[in-house]
Amino acid sequence: MEGVSQSSFTLPSDSNGVIRMRDPANESGNSTGGGSSGTRSSENSSSGFSRRAFLRGSSAAAAAAAMVARPETASAQKANQGAEVVSGFKTITLSVNVQKHQVNVEPRTTLLEVLRYQLDLTGAKPVSQDGSSGASTVLIDGRPVMASTTLAIACEGKQIQTVESFGGAQPDSAPVAFVQHDAQQCGFCTPGFVVAARAFLDKHPHATEEEIRQGLNGNICRCGTYANVIQAVLSATKGG
Ligand code: FES
């Protein structure tokens, strides 16, 4: 039998020219070699690749992988050290429509629940808990978000604006355009549409009809009043 020596391992070839790996550390007492007959032990020794050696190698590989992964885990733990763990009720202050309100919330309490059931601001609607309807749209720091999928406790220190702030002696041009174009039927989706339209118009004051359709596609109207909604927003881009 001929072999090819490489550092600590020997790569022997059998009479058929097939190379077999052999670990010199396991060679002692297993020099008979060759053949496929015999017990599992003799098979391992003939190939020089024992289960014990394999498991040793696997353990070393696992330990090496763990050593590589450990710094990430440690850094993640370090990042979480300053995080506050909240359980039960907690009193927080929310700024809603430029007024500060103290409210009691649990970590799971949504902003929509606080607005409707603690502050009596019922414009944002609980149509879909996953926010897919857009009916609970409010502005947080000027950006449209779904109050139904936003935790109230995460809104501390931010400016929350609801559709109620669009009224008054000088109403916002968005709801005015909705009224002028009769852009509602049951009206359940309308507050969300109006808030989303305001956020869209702030960003795209000269939007085309196609851009308006794209920009408001996160809001759904079950009554199908889309044509009038689009016309209302389009008119707002032209000054109403
Ligand atoms: S007007 Fe009824 S859901 Fe839109």
Are 124 and 149 in a shared domain? yes
**pTM for the full model?**
0.67
Ligand 1, closest atom to CA 186? Answer: 2
CATH code at 150? 3.10.20.30
Alpha-carbon span 196 to 144, nearest angstrom: 6
Shared domain for 78 and 121, answered yes or no, is no
The pLDDT value recorded for residue 8 is 41
* Ligand 1 atom with minimal separation from the 185 CA: 1
Confidence (pLDDT) at 52? 62
Ligand 1 proximity of 133 Cβ (cutoff 6 Å)? no
- Residue 54 confidence (pLDDT): 56
User: How many alpha carbons lie under 13 Å from residue 148 in its C-beta half-sphere?
Assistant: 17
pLDDT of 36: 40
Query: Which CATH number characterizes residue 203's domain?
Result: 1.10.150.120
Determine the 3-state secondary structure of 98 from DSSP: coil
**119 and 149 fall within a common domain:** yes
Write the single-letter amino acid at 42.
S
Residue where a domain terminates, one of 140, 165, 190: 165
Q: How far apart are CA 87 and CA 237, in angstroms?
A: 46
Same domain, 34 and 72: no
Is the distance from the beta carbon of residue 184 to the nearest atom of ligand 1 less than 6 Å?
yes
Q: What is the pLDDT of residue 74?
A: 72
Ligand 1 centroid distance, CA of 50 (Å): 73
161 lies in the same domain as 173:
no
| pLDDT at position 84 | 75
Do 122 and 152 belong together in one domain? yes
**What residues make up the domain containing 153?**
87-165
Q: Are 185 and 202 members of one domain? A: yes
User: If the chain, 240 residues long, is cut into consecutive pieces of 10 residues, what is the mean pLDDT of each piece?
Assistant: 41 51 47 40 47 60 56 69 82 98 97 98 95 97 98 98 96 97 96 98 96 97 97 89
From the CA of 222, give the closest atom in ligand 1: 3
Let me know whether 136 and 204 are in one domain: no
- Identify the pLDDT of residue 145: 98
- The domain total for the chain is 4
Q: In this structure, are 238 and 173 located in the same domain? A: yes
56: left (phi over 0), alpha (psi -120 to 50) or beta: alpha
pLDDT at 131: 94
The predicted structure's pLDDT at residue 121 = 98
Strand (E) or helix (H) holding 161: strand 159-161
Segments in the chain forming alpha helices (H): 40-47, 51-80, 111-117, 173-180, 190-203, 209-215, 226-237
Say whether both 23 and 5 belong to one domain: yes
Query: Is residue 19 lining ligand 1, measured as CB closer than 6 Å?
Result: no
Q: Is the CB of 221 under 6 A from ligand 1?
A: yes
> How much distance in Å is there from the Cα of 135 to the middle of ligand 1?
10
CA 141, chain centre distance (Å) = 21
